[in-house]
Amino acid sequence: MRKDKIMSHDEEIHALLERARRYCAMAEQCESGVRQKLVTWGCHADDADPIVARLREEGYIDDLRYARTYCESKIANQQWSRQKVLYQLRLKRLPKEAIDAGMATVSNEAYMAMLAELAAKKRDELAATYGDDTSRRLEAFLAQRGFTFDEINQAIKNIAGK
């Protein structure tokens, strides 16, 4: 007959802390994401506060570092617009200072170069399929990515000039 070991409350908290450390070590995480993960692991909301505080003290969680990494990766790799990135960071309930610092990491030149490259690539794909109906479809594609009307017009002017 097997007896299951029943963990004390302190042991459960320690186990959750260790699991959260491993989770944060795998990839950059924000405080709200770690809190959500703790709840899915069965942690009570009251117990999440000391765990998150400890992770913050130990450097596993840093919202400023997270915002910078998030902005750089989503804009450079996923080719998201600034507006879409800003919206997603607000959903993660990051402090305004962290969001502003993260958004400042992406230079305007790099952002516009990414947009021009994305627009040119998509225009070529659309031209192969739709022929003359590419500009309207390109505008719709870029708007769906969250780019502003002015950014879309500038990108289309840039690729038309080349």
Let me know: does 114 contact 158? Beta carbons within 8 Å.
Answer: no
Whether 99 and 112 share a structural domain? no
How far apart, in whole angstroms, are the C-alpha atoms of residue 109 and residue 10?
52
Whether 14 and 47 share a structural domain? yes
Instruction: Tell me, yes or no, whether 1 lies in a domain.
Output: no
Given this model, what pLDDT does residue 103 score? 95
What is the residue range of 85's domain? 63-104
Structure-block tokens of residue 61: 């969680």
**CA nearest 30: which of 102, 131, 82, 78?**
102
Given this model, what pLDDT does residue 158 score? 84
Burial of 86 (0-12, 13-18, 19+ CB in 10 A): middle
Instruction: Tell me, yes or no, whether 93 lies in a domain.
Output: yes
**What is the maximum span of the chain, computed from C-alpha positions, in angstroms?**
79
Instruction: Tell me, yes or no, whether 46 lies in a domain.
Output: yes
How far apart, in whole angstroms, are the C-alpha atoms of residue 36 and residue 42?
10
> Mean pLDDT of residues grouped by 10 in the chain (162 residues)?
61 93 96 95 91 96 96 94 95 95 93 94 90 86 94 88 67
Given this model, what pLDDT does residue 2 score? 40
Domain count for the chain = 3
Instruction: Tell me, yes or no, whether 122 lies in a domain.
Output: yes
Q: In terms of DSSP H, where are the helices of 41-147?
A: 45-57, 63-76, 82-91, 96-104, 108-130, 134-144
Put residue 131 in one of left, alpha, beta given phi > 0 → left and psi -120 to 50 → alpha.
Answer: left
Given this model, what pLDDT does residue 54 score? 96
Instruction: Tell me, yes or no, whether 84 lies in a domain.
Output: yes
How far apart, in whole angstroms, are the C-alpha atoms of residue 16 and residue 128?
53
Instruction: Tell me, yes or no, whether 50 lies in a domain.
Output: yes
Whether 123 and 155 share a structural domain? yes
Given this model, what pLDDT does residue 160 score? 77
- Indicate which CATH number applies to the domain containing 127: 1.10.10
Instruction: Tell me, yes or no, whether 3 lies in a domain.
Output: no
